[in-house]
Structure 1
């Protein structure tokens, strides 16, 4: 067959596809799923909402703990977190009486959990979380 005087020569072999982009995508997906996976157990925080105490009558002195980013106050008086249970003891009518926790502006969740852990470690189990 005549090509009009042009000789194109031997037909070149098709170029092999590079696997590098596909490997990059696989590694990116692997990293994404590793970072977005959740390992370990989730912690469960047994707390009562603010509406739970609405059906019962409050007994005893007020027990309001304000949790700020750098301070903890019991009924408006700044208190050391380690001495919180000692300060609460005279205000508690019974061992299972409720304590109200109120996070203030700027207090993060970890700060709230630290205060709850401290109270739970001191034997206080009935906590009500309010806004």
Structure 2
């Protein structure tokens, strides 16, 4: 039953997430193409900056939590049940999305986003394994 619900919900969820990444949350088109290639340090600087704790939690944890559902993609695509193909496929897709944000100037290409999003997928994959073992999926 859970797998059927997942198969129905993941497509609209993905479209919603793409909306958030390009148009939602007060997004606007930057005047120039921006990229942040400094892994981890840019997130640390962001956390240490003058930002409100609510914003830090929403952005940093949001970049992880919002991608947890993609760790369950093996329920739709059996080849993605294994971690390595799942992570490789996801990184390929998220790099394309980040590049589209860069080229459309509707966001910033950020290496930290790729890292945090991928960590979310990994957590989802772990949760999927736990659910499958517990409920004999």
Same fold (TM over 0.5): no
Greater fraction of residues in helix: 2
Q: TM-score, normalised by structure 2?
A: 0.24
Highest Rg: 1 or 2? Answer: 1
Greater fraction of residues in strand: 1
Q: TM-score, normalised by structure 1?
A: 0.25
Q: Which has the higher contact order (CA 8 A, sep 6+)?
A: 2
